[in-house]
Chain A
Amino acid sequence: MIKLSLIGMLRRSLVHRRARSLSALIAMTVSAGVATALLTLYADLDAKLHKEFRSFGANIVITAPATAPLQTDALAKVKQAAGSDALAAEFAYAVATTDQGTPVVVGGTDFAAVKRLNSWWQVDAWPQGQDEALLGQRAAGFVTDKKLVRLTFAGHPITLQGAGHLRTGGDEDSRIYMPLATFTGWTGVAPTVIELQVPGGTATVEATISRLKQDLPEMQVQPVRQLVEGESKIVDRTHALMYGAVLLIALTVAVSVLATLSASVLERRRDFALMKALGGSQMQLMGMFLLEALVLAIAGVVVGFFAGSAAAWAISEGNFHTATLPHLSVLPLVLILNLAIAAMAALFPVRVLRGLQPAALLKGE
């Protein structure tokens, strides 16, 4: 007589009822996959959303005191204090007159930095050379020749080539911008303002501000309050919404898996009765069902983790245009979730079956 090992029984039980095992496996895979995808997205959500909010531009403004301009190394210090993924640009301002005699604010800045920092500036052509200027759309109405812009500052004239027009709907519309080196060479005015963009919510911004205040005590550091507050609010709301969605979907999948698996156990009342009649103890039988469910759950997690990571990648690539890499950190949670569902699915019907008499079951009642 062949001795039946536990492994043998398990293998038989899984292989013999292939359709049933497969449907249970699919259920477990779907639950693991959905959990992985949602948790991976959830883990990355804040970073992704904060990245979207970068398009609002600077959220911290650093201003030099009225008595002295910024120190030459101020920008480097700010960048160092704010971290590597912050964007910063310095600005110098002066009031000049156009060839029509209208006073106009002229600004000197680094166009490459501004282009990245203030992506909401609508510019038809960015200045390339050192003697090219960017005309605010309202300011452009007050110069005679938009291609050859003549300005005067304290008696010093300068002639710049107008590269393009700038439209923002804000104060920038009434200004003329030029490269910082040209500006300083012409007016002798050094930069006084640094606009800084730190990705992150209120806490990050406040931490950066206190660091900046420590490193640059003489300067005035202020958050752009509506941006910082609004960003935190919206990220929090989206976060909560996502949390609700994750719970809801997890619940749906869990209950369906529970239904599928427990049906599969209930259907085998006969096997249960036979084993009991042959002398299996309650514990052994429960162990048997449990083991079977757990094997399916683990297989489901393995397949589901890959499928779920792929889904998360596709979703964030499609929506945020940046990839989300698989997070190994979600794996334990997914595993625990799936094992818990499987254990519940296996144990719930066993409790129902406990009271049944093997003889009655085998007779077919």
Chain B
Amino acid sequence: MFFRLLMESFRRQRRRKMLAGVAILLGTTAVTAMLALATTIGDRIHKELAVYGANIVVYPKTDLLDVKIGGVDVKPATGGSYLKTSDLAKLKDIFWANNITGISPELPLQIDGTTPSGELLSASGIGLWFDHALSSDPGSIKTGAPQLHPWWKLQGAWPKQPANEASDSDAVLGAALAAKLNLKIGDRLPITLPPANGITPGTPRSYALRVTGIVSTGDNTDKQILLPLSTAQTIAGLPDAVRRVEVSARTKPEDAFARVDPDSLPAKQREIWYCRPYANSIAYQIREAIPGAQAEQVRRVEQSEGNVLARISGLMWLISAAALLAAGFAVSAAMATAILERRGEIGLMRSLGASKGAIALLFYAETGILAVLAGVFGYLLGSGLAAWLGARIFAGDGGSPEAVLIPVLLPVVVALALIVAIGGSTPSIRSALRMDPSAILRADA
């Protein structure tokens, strides 16, 4: 009998059920979409913040001081110490290796040569990776300077890694340098090798650079020649040498615990510190992995990033809370309306001898079924909406469109829908049950 009543109620009062159902559906859709966006917003914004470039720099521990003003090396260090290119592959073995998204080694050098028009060329150059696989594994990340400097604007193409024995190589010119020397894409620059180079056996006696692109960077790199790292090492006569490495890593925003010195912590705490993706812990692991290296977080990027990230995701959570509140009000108002409308039914059932408990159970069962059905649909709809919104807003960063179907949200959202719907209908059910059945029936007749 109970089930028949339940079934008939859904079959016969479709309009009323629709109204409450649509309210719950929309409420859960909004809440699911907002929660799904709020939980993924951290990663998404972090990807956006990657435009600020590297957040960790690695340099040799025994290095001399940089004498740089405004990005220009005033006294280029002769000699000094270098890191080894071959050591960089070790970065993929550290604990947080999967969080490292980009590596860009640099080797500055001086380049002298002549331009096609016969002018003498004397510029600083920099050896970089452009699209370099970190190791020969097929799964290894391909990385390089363009990835870590998304604000560089290239005209033409990045240089290709030269074949070893080649006596010429591709190069990209900084925009300011190209304009000053009136050079364009396709030009060939014969360059003279520094005398120090004679020491290294097997290096070519003459060398030429082929301009494949012109890059505008907005900083001092505009006045430089960008070469493949191996070319720079050959020209400078410093095989395997790297002056500085920029590393971009996904990190957890710094908190008080991140700032403590790990060596002062007891073993257990140290382990926890080590196993959290703070910029500091990743830098610590890089120091461990590469002998003679000093790794530092780039504070300008790292500190401010955490700040912005926290604010934006905080905002999203608060908006989700507002959505939850609004949806809660909306659903409970709709439920209250649905019950109020059916006071006549309650009166009739009471006068036919149904107990208060039985009636309440019937109404709660109806509400529950409605809430679960509409909640599940709302969850699916909301997840779809979140995926669509996320893809629309954060499109075009090379990030794959992620599915935003978060299974944990399903029980949460359905439970919320249940609680709100039952909570919203309780006052109306109670007040309807409290009234005298004959009065309700008469008023309705």
B189 within 8 Å of A (CB atoms): no
Are B330 and A319 in contact, with the CB atoms below 8 A? Answer: no
Given contacts A237-B394, A319-B311, contact A102 B65 (CB under 8 A): yes
What sequence of 0s and 1s flags, for each residue 100-122 of chain A, a beta carbon within 8 Å of any chain B beta carbon?
00111100000000000010111
Tell me if A8 is interfacial: C-beta within 8 Å of chain B: no
Looking at the assembled complex, report how far the CB atom of B370 sits from the nearest CB atom of chain A, in whole angstroms. Answer: 13
Q: Closest A-chain residue to B305, C-beta based?
A: A56
Asked whether A253 lies within 8 Å of B330 as measured between CB atoms, the reply is yes
- Contact in complex: A237, B151 (CB < 8 Å): no
The number of residues on chain B lying at the interface, defined by a beta carbon within 8 Å of a beta carbon of chain A, is 77
Distance in angstroms between the alpha carbons of A244 and B311 in the assembled complex: 18
**Is B45's CB under 8 angstroms from A95's CB?**
no
A256/B23 in contact, CB under 8 A: yes
Shortest C-beta distance, A35 to chain B (Å), equals 10
- Asked whether, in the complex, the Cβ of A319 is within 8 Å of the Cβ of B74, the reply is no
Q: How far is the CB of A259 from chain B (nearest CB, A)?
A: 5
Query: Do B322 and A249 have beta carbons less than 8 Å apart?
Result: yes
- Bound state CA distance, A221 and B322, in angstroms? 44
User: Does any Cβ of B come within 8 Å of A309's Cβ?
Assistant: no
The CA-CA distance from A193 to B219 in the complex, in Å, is: 14
For residue A26, CB closer than 8 A to chain B, the reply is: yes
Chain A residues near B296 (CB-CB < 8 A): 167, 169, 173
Interface of A is mostly: helix
The size of the chain A interface, using a CB distance under 8 A, is 78
- Which residues of the other chain, A, contact B358 by a CB distance below 8 angstroms? none
The answer to the question of A251 belonging to the interface, with a C-beta cut-off of 8 Å to chain B, is yes
A49-83: which residues lie under 8 A (CB-CB) from chain B? 49, 52-53, 55-57, 61, 63
- Kindly state whether residue A128 has any CB partner on chain B within 8 Å: no
- Residues of B1-57 whose CB lies within 8 A of A: 16, 19-20, 22-23, 26-27, 29-30, 33-34, 37, 41, 44-45, 48-49, 51-53, 56-57
B327 at the interface (CB under 8 A from A): yes
Question: What distance in Å separates the Cβ of A60 from its nearest Cβ neighbour in chain B?
Answer: 11
Q: Which chain B residue has the least Cβ–Cβ distance from A122? A: B299
Closest to B294 in A: A138
- In the complex, are the beta carbons of B26 and A56 less than 8 A apart? no
Q: Are A315 and B65 in contact (CB under 8 A)?
A: no
* Distance (whole angstroms) from the CB of B376 to the closest CB of chain A: 17
Q: Tally the A-B contacts, defined by beta carbons under 8 Å.
A: 229
Q: Which of B23, B218, B334, B431 contacts A222 (CB 8 A)?
A: B218
Complex CA distance for A55 and B299, rounded to whole angstroms: 11
User: Cβ of A241 and Cβ of B300 under 8 Å apart?
Assistant: no
Within 8 A of A (CB), among B304-334: 304, 307-308, 311-312, 314-316, 318-319, 322-323, 325-327, 329-331, 333-334
Are A241 and B30 closer than 8 Å at their CB atoms? no
CB-nearest residue of chain A to B327:
A252
Residues of B within 8 A of A30 (CB): 326, 329-330, 333
Does B64 lie at the interface of the complex (its beta carbon under 8 Å from any beta carbon of A)? yes
Interface membership of chain A positions 222-234, coded 1 if the CB is closer than 8 angstroms to chain B and 0 otherwise: 1111110110011
Shortest Cβ gap from A194 to chain B (Å): 12
Q: Is B434 an interface residue (CB 8 A)?
A: no
- Across the interface, which residues of A come within 8 angstroms of B300, CB to CB? 56-57, 118, 120, 168-170
Complex contact B67–A104 (CB within 8 A): yes
Closest chain-A Cβ to B58's Cβ sits at a distance in Å of 11
A248 CB–B CB distance under 8 Å: yes
> Knowing A225-B218, A240-B393 touch, does A267 contact B323 (C-beta < 8 A)?
no
The contact string, 1 if C-beta is below 8 Å from chain B, for chain A 180-201, is 0000000000000100000000
**A56 in contact with B304 (CB, 8 Å):** yes
Q: Which residue of B lies closest to A257 (CB)?
A: B330
Interchain CB contact (< 8 A) of A256 among B26, B52, B67, B431 = B26
Report the separation of the CA atoms of residues A174 and B296 in the bound assembly, to the nearest whole angstrom.
Answer: 13
A38 CA to B341 CA in the complex, in Å?
32
Which of B71, B304, B341 touches A55 (beta carbons < 8 Å)?
A: B304
In the complex with contacts A30-B329, A30-B330, A120-B299, A105-B307 CB distance below 8 A:
no
A159 adjacent to chain B (CB < 8 Å): no
Contact assessment for A20 and B340 in the assembled complex, using a CB-CB cutoff below 8 Å: yes
The answer to whether A225 and B217 have CB atoms under 8 Å apart is yes
A249 and B30 contact, CB distance less than 8 A: yes
Chain A interface residues (CB < 8 Å from chain B)? 19-20, 23, 26-27, 30-31, 34, 37-38, 41, 48-49, 52-53, 55-57, 61, 63, 93, 95, 102-105, 118, 120-122, 138-139, 142, 167-171, 173-174, 193, 222-227, 229-230, 233-234, 237-238, 240-242, 244-245, 248-249, 251-253, 255-257, 259-260, 262-264, 267, 311, 315, 318-320, 364
Q: Which 8 A-B pairs have the closest CB atoms?
A: A256-B330, A225-B218, A169-B298, A230-B51, A252-B30, A169-B296, A55-B304, A263-B337
Given contacts A38-B322, A226-B53, A252-B26, 14 further A-B contacts (CB under 8 A): A57-B304, A169-B297, A170-B299, A174-B65, A193-B70, A241-B316, A255-B22, A255-B26, A255-B330, A260-B333, A263-B16, A263-B337, A318-B318, A319-B318
